[in-house]
Structure 1
Amino acid sequence: MTDTTRTGRARRRAAATKTAPAGQRSRRGKRLSLIIPMHNEAPVLDALFERLDATVGGLKLALEIICIDDGSRDDTLERLRLRAATDARIRAISLSRNFGKEAALTAGLEAATGQMIVPLDADLQDPPELIAEFVTLWEQGYDVVYGVRSDRSSDTPLKRTTADLFYRLFNSVSDYPIPASTGDFRLMDRCVVEALNRLPERNRFMKGLFAWVGFKQVGVAYVRPARLAGETAWGYRKLFRFAVDGVTAFTTVPLRIWTLVGIGAAIAALITGVGLIVRVLIVGRDVPGYASLMVALLFGFALQMIALGVMGEYIGRMYQEVKGRPTYLVKDRIGFDA
């Protein structure tokens, strides 16, 4: 047992016992589906499967491990093919190109057949040792058991700050708040996955969808370790785009904000106009002010451009949805006939 799973275990179990919903489940005869999106993850595969064998193998559950190769440029797919040839639990889906983690995760959810489904990262930042506790809470009646990153010291200070700002912003404007410091690492009951698979949108912000579907949910705190090997593909530019997708997918508040800005600007313009008229009537002439006029014009122009940009984000997403293209395309499926 690692320090990650020991930390706060007794406290979390005590809290879960007090608040557990009515209804007990049994793991007997059930299947656990692990969904692991992969993009250039060849350096970590050996360590990943060793950890899975050491931790998940003893849960007394039938197991399937669905690996989604999301357009890897290294030999990730070839290594998965070799493992699947000798291990019937391993199945692989090869996408035709890199569609992104949200699309790869969607492919895994649609392919999973277990009564319990757990998405996790291949880089072992989502510790497999925690899955045993997830299953225990599932048996107590929870439909979703999600991991909460209580310690993100493995991330850079900038990433921790920007992540905190995102969660604060999203939860302040969305009707379906996301628990802070959560990712995709969670256990979901079959009914939750079936609900997710019925959602038709193609711009999929999975963290928001997990919150939107509801069901009985509980969090489990854990310490997020550093990435085992390689480098993350999530640069700040990609993370910013991901955050914009999340906000625009679950709220129209940015559009309403610009309506209020427009009303405020109109009121300010009306007050300024009345003031100028009164000044001309009293003083007889207005004081020339080329600089102030240009500042006002440029400021108004900037506001218009920002407003158009916000509207463009929403229109662009409507355009993507109307085209009706599939979320992903599959090039090959390995091990699904076994």
Structure 2
Amino acid sequence: MKHKNIDISIVIPLLNEESNIRELFKQLRRVLEKAVEAFEIIFVDDGSTDQSFAVLKGLHQEYPDSVRVIKFSRNFGQQPAIAAGLKQAQGKAVVVMDADLQDPPEVIGQFIAKWKEGFDVVYGVRSQREGETFFKKFTAELFYKFIRKISCVEIPANVGDFYLLDRKVVDVFIELKEHHRFNRGLVAWMGFKRGVVMYTRKARHSGVTKYSLTKMIRFALDAIMSFSFAPLRMISCFGIFLILFSIIILLIILCLKTFASTMIAGWVFIADSILFTGGLQLLAMGLIGEYLARIGEDTKARPLFVVEEVL
């Protein structure tokens, strides 16, 4: 049962952030006490191996009414951690953010102001990214351009896991059961009235990023596979290209042999046949992949539509 007296819930997934937790809580508490009457902060410990859970346990004992802690049995990943926090959140609106203080807590006040204006989803859009390498900035920009190009869902650029969701959006979100999650895409897929708040993303307060290159690649693949059939269709298109190319080569060979009496080596016909057969195989694989992708889309069990309001 939802506690109607809680105005705002803050969901914070974390992994090995013992040095940031208390500073983050102090800043959040200062901002939230000015902005709303009642709030809760939900920390989701995603299998930390340092003293993060001990720090969180201490905070919960000091502030049992406003601090809640979810501890995973192992590291399941940031996206499932966000989903777990949203499922437990009881506020009329929920803000998702990281624990590294790169996303400044004072921006939450602007989120709440936008929410009160009637926006159901409020994104934090990064106007600047301090303390990040050129490689990180370049790959992030490339990823967003690519996913926006191939996806059927409009996913905002320069948006991370720092946003506010109205209660009705959260209720729809927690009904989505898929395992390989790209939460930013799911939030965009649901629709609703969306607003943005521009902010400067700061350098980490302390510690190091937990997003290795391997995790970034896995995250990008989850996003692409969850919201686009483009890779499968590229295989089909390449197969069609090979078929057409092999037919053109065959026509050229026949013309040369018929009108120019040119001797054509036997291996040319063999190579062209292989090219044609390879194209057919790729086309068949792409078509089979399309059917499998549609089956996969059904197993995600996303609703066919989301109703915002009925009059």
Fold shared per TM-score above 0.5: yes
Match of residue 165 from structure 2: 188
CA offset digits 1:195-220 (Å, max 9, x no partner): 11111211111010010011111011
Task: Tell me if 1:127 matches 2:107.
Answer: no
Match of residue 126 from structure 2: 149
Distance change >3 Å, CA 303–CA 54, structure 1 → 2: farther
TM-fit CA distance, 1:150: 0.2
Is contact 1:203–1:321 with CA below 8 Å preserved after alignment? Answer: no
TM-fit CA distance, 1:294: 7.6
Match of residue 76 from structure 1: 52
TM-fit CA distance, 1:96: 1.2
SS of residue paired to 1:128 = coil
Is contact 1:149–1:182 with CA below 8 Å preserved after alignment? Answer: yes
Match of residue 47 from structure 1: 23
Distance change >3 Å, CA 308–CA 280, structure 1 → 2: same
Instruction: Return the alpha-carbon distance in structure 2 between the equivalents of residues 314 and 79 of structure 1.
Output: 49
1:34 pairs, out of 10, 13, 18, with 10
SS of residue paired to 2:106 = helix
Instruction: Return the alpha-carbon distance in structure 2 between the equivalents of residues 268 and 261 of structure 1.
Output: 10
Q: How does 1:107-118 map to 2 (within 5 A)?
A: 107-118=84-95
Amino acid at match of 2:76: F
Instruction: Return the alpha-carbon distance in structure 2 between the equivalents of residues 144 and 60 of structure 1.
Output: 18
- TM-score in terms of structure 2 length: 0.84
2:183 pairs, out of 206, 218, 221, with 206
Match of residue 115 from structure 2: 138
Amino acid at match of 1:69: D
CA offset digits 1:107-152 (Å, max 9, x no partner): 0000001001001100011111011111111111111111000002
Instruction: Return the alpha-carbon distance in structure 1 between the equivalents of residues 21 and 290 of structure 2.
Output: 38
Instruction: Return the alpha-carbon distance in structure 1 between the equivalents of residues 293 and 48 of structure 2.
Output: 28
Amino acid at match of 2:200: V
Amino acid at match of 2:78: K
Q: Cα RMSD (Å) of the superposition?
A: 3.3
TM-fit CA distance, 1:175: 1.6
Aligned length: 297
Distance change >3 Å, CA 286–CA 127, structure 1 → 2: farther
1:228 pairs, out of 205, 222, 235, with 205
Is contact 1:248–1:313 with CA below 8 Å preserved after alignment? Answer: no
Task: Tell me if 1:250 matches 2:234.
Answer: no
Match of residue 18 from structure 1: none
Match of residue 24 from structure 1: none
SS of residue paired to 2:140 = helix
Amino acid at match of 1:255: L
Instruction: Return the alpha-carbon distance in structure 2 between the equivalents of residues 59 and 190 of structure 1.
Output: 18
Amino acid at match of 2:215: K
TM-fit CA distance, 1:321: 9.2
Instruction: Return the alpha-carbon distance in structure 1 between the equivalents of residues 27 and 125 of structure 2.
Output: 20
Q: How does 1:1-338 map to 2 (within 5 A)?
A: 29-88=5-64, 89-288=66-265
| Higher relative contact order (Cα pairs below 8 Å, separated by 6+ residues) | 1
TM-fit CA distance, 1:62: 0.7
- Most deviating of 244-253 and 119-128: 244-253
TM-fit CA distance, 1:54: 2.1
TM-fit CA distance, 1:50: 1.6
Is contact 2:46–2:76 with CA below 8 Å preserved after alignment? Answer: yes
Flag structure 1 segments of 5+ consecutive residues without an equivalent: 1-27, 325-338
Instruction: Return the alpha-carbon distance in structure 1 between the equivalents of residues 287 and 132 of structure 2.
Output: 30
